[in-house]
Amino acid sequence: MTAAVETSTQIPGSDTGAGHLEAAEGADGVPSVSFDTSPDRYRHWKLDVDGEVATLTLLVDQDGGIVPGYQLKSNSYDLGVDIELYDAVQRLRFEHPEVKSVVVTGGLERMFCAGANIKMLAQSTHAWKVNFCKFTNETRNGFEDATQHSGQTYIAAVNGTSAGGGYELALACDQIVLVDDGSSAVALPEVPLLGVLPGTGGLTRVVDKRHVRKDRADIFATKSEGIKGTTAVEWRLVDAAVSRGRFDAEVRTRAEEAARRSHRPTGEQGVALTPLNRAETDVAITYPHVEAQLLRDQRRVEITVQAPAEAPPADAAAVHEQGARYWPLALARELDDLILRLRTNELELGTWVFRTKGDAGTVLAHDAQLDALADDWFVNEVRHYLKRTFKRLDVTSRSLVALIEPGSCFAGTLLELALAGDRQYMLAGVFEDVDPEADPASLVIGGANQGAYPMGNGLTRLESRFHAAEEELQAALARSGAPLEADEAAALGLVTMALDDIDYEDELRIVLEERASLSPDALTGMEANHRFVGPESMETKIFGRLTAWQNWIFNRPNASGPEGALRRYGTGKRADFDVKRV
């Protein structure tokens, strides 16, 4: 493989901003999207830290769209705006341990956020729209995760009208304060104006999180002008409606009260999220601990994850000193970046094959340290970042296959990669023609597989695998800590199939060729249904029920056809709907 340091060119309006487009072509002939940014490069967000309270102000550069063809008027957003927001949320968690509450507000007069840019949606491919909504959902979920697990409470200071995705941005916050000035409102106008659904959790959070009565929710979601003032409070759409003269003081009081309740530390030094060390060519993306080979002719990516080369640092102080070089954090960041890049830029590579290499013992040693230092704020953030990265894998519309071979280290944290897979194949014995003296492949269930990284449904991946089969789950857990070779792993139900050296390569070739021959649409629907067994949560509803319907509606002519609502919005012409219910 020839590795080349990544180079990029920018289109007009994106030379210093987030999510710039790289020179290499990605999906649909569009240049590849980069998720690299930092506060000094933000074009759309301003991050201010004042002691224990941080403020994120949305002031969108209307000429700073990630692709040409539209203006981001009225604080509307596109993928580039959300890439900056995701980066800011991550930096607040890692670089600012002193921050205990985060105020999200708008930088325009009487306008909080108008939501996703309609012209952007109208001109985008279906795949772009769906990936955009998925990433935006994950970023909104990050607000709630930070509030619940990091002691950083998010408060929406809705200083003006908040519509569509703008209100969904506020809904992701723990508290919503609306300015009561006679004109500012919260609204979800997608159904009446655009013929689509609020795509980033709005319908779900209104009823599941804010407990709005379903008849009121029905009125709200079909009332394009939204709800104002005291009525919005009465309906539980916001927590408070405050006059403009009292607005700033009310928001500050709530932020300070939230900060007093926080378990975030005082006097700790943050950990800088330094730029990723990534090399990229047309056939590979390589990081220090993760490598992806892009097999375009086979529509497949082969991903190899490396175990840490050394034992974990001696103590918490040494962990902090390593900072972004700390293996569990480096792993989370590299996997996260790779998943986003492949998901957005490589739509035709529909199967992701995972391998691991290295010493399982060092993986388990790092896991033991993550557990022992769980009360340390930085270690806590690392564990939750790994959790969120594995969740991102769960909701990725790609076929996931794990190959467990001699030299693998699918143990503890890295076993999650196999458990997230749709199938797992394990070599029984060794490759006789390659290394007959090698140790046979094995896997290890660790403590990290028993609750550190829950899925969106609240279950561990082992619990999801053995859903409603408690005896099988307990039999597997009883072997925790022991290296399990192929026959035992298969008997315990931990792998799809154990194959000997004679059949291994041919069987895998047939499996992967078959996968590549099937309908990608049917595979996406099948995999999403299989991965989330058991209970539903707000998160699974957003990624399953809501996005499945939105995906379908985005394809329908009533929304996206030439006379559809998305195409005719702003033209003065009403959409021409096919009135048959389907």
Q: Give the model's confidence band at 30: pLDDT under 50 very low, under 70 low, under 90 confident, else very high.
A: low
* Pure H helices in 4-103: 79-95
pLDDT of the residue at 567:
87
Contact 450, 462 (CB under 8 A): yes
- The predicted-structure confidence for 423-482, as pLDDT tens digits, reads as follows 999 999 999 888 888 999 999 999 999 999 999 999 999 999 999 999 999 999 999 999
Residue 10 in this model has a pLDDT that exceeds 50: no
* Nearby residues of 547 by Cβ (< 8 Å), 6 or more positions away: 130, 133, 134, 137, 199
Closest among 268, 302, 116 to 193, alpha carbons compared: 116
pLDDT of the residue at 20:
59
Amino acid at residue number 575 = A
Rounded percentage of the chain residues whose pLDDT exceeds 90? 84
CA 580 to chain centre: 36
- The predicted-structure confidence for 335-363, as pLDDT tens digits, reads as follows 999 999 999 999 999 999 999 999 999 99
pLDDT of the residue at 27:
47
Q: How far apart are CA 367 and CA 431, in angstroms?
A: 29
Q: Give the model's confidence band at 15: pLDDT under 50 very low, under 70 low, under 90 confident, else very high.
A: very low
* Nearby residues of 460 by Cβ (< 8 Å), 6 or more positions away: 449, 450, 451, 453, 454
pTM over cut 0.85? yes
Q: How far apart are the first and last CA of the chain?
A: 51
- The predicted-structure confidence for 258-307, as pLDDT tens digits, reads as follows 999 999 999 999 999 999 999 999 999 999 999 999 999 999 999 999 99
- The predicted-structure confidence for 32-86, as pLDDT tens digits, reads as follows 899 999 999 999 999 999 999 999 999 999 999 999 999 999 999 999 999 999 9
CA 341 to chain centre: 12
Contact 550, 199 (CB under 8 A): yes
Residue 9 in this model has a pLDDT that exceeds 80: no
Q: Give the model's confidence band at 582: pLDDT under 50 very low, under 70 low, under 90 confident, else very high.
A: confident
Residue 555 in this model has a pLDDT that exceeds 90: no
Q: For the structural domain made of 42-261, what CATH number should be given?
A: 3.90.226.10
Q: How far apart are CA 380 and CA 376, in angstroms?
A: 6
Task: Return mean pLDDT, the chain.
Answer: 93
Q: For the structural domain made of 279-531, what CATH number should be given?
A: 3.90.226.10
- Please state whether beta strands 497-500 and 423-428 pair in parallel, antiparallel, or not at all (unpaired): parallel
Q: Percentage helix, strand, coil, to 5, in the chain?
A: 45, 20, 40
Give CA torsion, residues 289, 294, 298, 303, to 10 deg. Answer: 10
Q: Give the model's confidence band at 548: pLDDT under 50 very low, under 70 low, under 90 confident, else very high.
A: confident
pLDDT of the residue at 21:
64
Residue 1 in this model has a pLDDT that exceeds 70: no
Residue 177 in this model has a pLDDT that exceeds 50: yes
Burial of 447-458, coded b for 16+ CB within 10 Å and e otherwise, reads bbbeebbbbbbe
For the four alpha carbons of 104, 109, 112 and 115, in that order, the dihedral sign comes to: negative
pLDDT of the residue at 455:
97
Q: Do domains 42-261 and 279-531 have the same CATH topology?
A: yes
Domain-by-domain residue ranges, the chain? 42-261, 279-531
